[in-house]
């Protein structure tokens, strides 16, 4: 038989202890009303009794809670995994709670998940890379403060966002590759059937033109448990053309819009017997904590996870606590040159 759970003190207990009404105690603890002296007495009594408000009761009574829902596209993606962990940590540190969900790579599940999350009556919502074009966001954002991370939600003007200055990031990458003499670069991006003409592609096209480079667009299936498919796909895209032609008849650099893809390219390169960076330069576009952990270190565009998390959580909580409005903030990325980029192989 389990020991009985010791009963926690309630607001009423504190009220009895100080000889005031529960309402007074409630106001005092939140510092909303009451004389300084009363507030002090109430706080002291609460501390003495070990009282803590029951957030569930508070949420029911007020219709609000100190809980934020975090929804992301897939925690199998390394960047998102690290992002979600950091978001949860930051929320916790600020005295809030996170309930997290991920669509696990199935965008069609988003609706159901969102409903499931909202059933918990979160005070706000943080959404990490999902389909930013979906119509639903408009309805959601009009009811619940929402901050998107990575992309502004084009259909939801009232939502806040923390976006990356992709233009400068992409420009930095192309400059870097151009300097190293690369003239043909594979751009690896996710295969997203639903959103044609993505800004990222236009950006890439523009920068490539500026640097006078040709681009192979490689649309890649997402990282699943079985990475074989992704690797094979990338290997096919990076393999040299028919023998006898000018070597290398293939991109000499790969620019991956996700670090997972970059790791995929590294695997593909190994399977093709291409040495990095001698035969192939590889650039990522995130900065998972461990991009520099293994091998020669991945050259990558660092999105500054901590800055992003700070901006997103800070913005949301400020809006929640002081009613200020949400806005779109831009975080400037930084190119981190490590070991996977080098001079383009010279033609023999």
Q: Which residues bind to DNA, rule: CB under 7 A?
A: 7-8, 10-12, 20-24, 26-30, 33-35, 37-38, 51, 53-54, 57-58, 60-64
Q: Which string of x and - marks every residue 151-190 that binds its own copies (by CB under 8 A)? A: -------x--------------------------------
Whole-number Å distance between alpha carbons of 158 and 171? 30
43 within 8 A of 54, measured Cβ to Cβ: no
Q: Between residues 26 and 82, which has the closer beta carbon with respect to its own copies? A: 82
27 binds, among DNA, its own copies, none (CB under 5 to 8 A by kind): DNA
Rule CB under 8 A: say whether 263 interacts with its own copies. Answer: yes
Whole-number Å distance between alpha carbons of 281 and 184? 11
170 binds, among its own copies, DNA, none (CB under 5 to 8 A by kind): none
Rule CB under 8 A: say whether 224 interacts with its own copies. Answer: no
Among the residue ranges 108-116, 170-178, 194-202, 308-316, the one whose residues contact its own copies (CB under 8 A)? 108-116
Closest approach of Cβ 143 to its own copies, in Å? Answer: 5
Written as six digits, the tokens of 192 are 């997203």
Per rule CB under 8 A, count of chain residues that contact its own copies:
55
DSSP labels, 110-175: HHHHHHHHHTT--SEEEE-SS-TT-THHHHHHHHS-EEEEES--TT-TTSEEEEE-HHHHHHHHHH
DSSP labels, 245-270: SSSP-S-SEEEESSHHHHHHHHHHHH
Q: Which residues touch 68 (CB under 8 Å, ≥6 apart)?
A: 91, 96, 97, 98, 99, 122, 123, 124, 125, 126, 313, 316, 317
Which residues, numbered 66-95, are part of the site for its own copies (CB under 8 A)?
Answer: 67, 75-76, 78, 81-82, 84-86, 88-89, 92, 95
Written as six digits, the tokens of 43 are 């706080």
89 binds, among its own copies, DNA, none (CB under 5 to 8 A by kind): its own copies
Which positions lie near its own copies, rule CB under 8 A?
2-3, 5, 52-57, 59-60, 65, 67, 75-76, 78, 81-82, 84-86, 88-89, 92, 95, 97-102, 104, 113, 115-116, 119-121, 142-143, 158, 227, 260, 263-264, 266-267, 289-290, 292-296, 298
């Amino acid at each position: 038989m389990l020991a009985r759970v010791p009963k926690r003190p309630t607001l009423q207990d504190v009220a009895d202890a100080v000889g005031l009404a529960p309402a007074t105690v409630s106001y005092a603890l939140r510092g909303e009303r009451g004389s300084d002296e009363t507030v002090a007495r109430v706080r002291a009594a609460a501390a003495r009794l070990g009282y803590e408000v029951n957030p569930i009761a508070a949420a029911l009574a007020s219709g609000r809670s100190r809980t934020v829902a975090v929804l992301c596209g897939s925690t199998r993606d390394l960047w998102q995994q690290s992002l979600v962990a950091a978001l949860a940590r930051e929320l916790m540190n600020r005295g809030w709670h996170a309930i997290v969900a991920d669509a696990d790579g199935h965008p069609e599940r988003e609706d159901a998940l969102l409903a499931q999350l909202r059933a918990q009556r979160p005070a706000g919502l943080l959404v990490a890379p999902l389909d930013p074009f979906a119509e639903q966001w408009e309805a959601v954002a009009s009811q619940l403060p929402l901050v998107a991370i990575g992309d502004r939600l084009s259909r939801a003007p009232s939502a806040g966002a923390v976006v990356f200055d992709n233009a400068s990031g992409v420009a930095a990458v192309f400059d870097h590759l151009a300097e190293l003499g690369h003239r043909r670069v594979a751009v690896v991006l996710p295969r997203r059937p639903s959103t044609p003409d993505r800004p990222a592609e236009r950006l890439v096209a523009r920068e490539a033109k500026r640097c006078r480079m040709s681009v192979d667009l490689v649309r890649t299936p997402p990282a699943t448990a079985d990475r074989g498919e992704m690797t094979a796909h990338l290997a096919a895209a990076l393999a040299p053309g028919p023998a006898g032609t000018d070597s290398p008849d293939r991109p000499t650099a790969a620019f991956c819009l996700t670090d997972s893809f970059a790791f995929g390219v590294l695997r593909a390169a190994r399977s093709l017997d291409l040495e990095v960076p001698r035969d192939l330069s590889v650039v990522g576009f995130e900065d998972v904590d461990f991009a520099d952990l293994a091998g020669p270190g991945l050259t990558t565009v660092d999105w500054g996870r901590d800055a992003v998390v700070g901006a997103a959580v800070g913005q949301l909580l400020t809006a929640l606590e002081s009613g200020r409005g949400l806005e779109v903030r831009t975080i400037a990325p930084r190119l981190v040159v490590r070991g996977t980029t080098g001079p383009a192989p010279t033609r023999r």
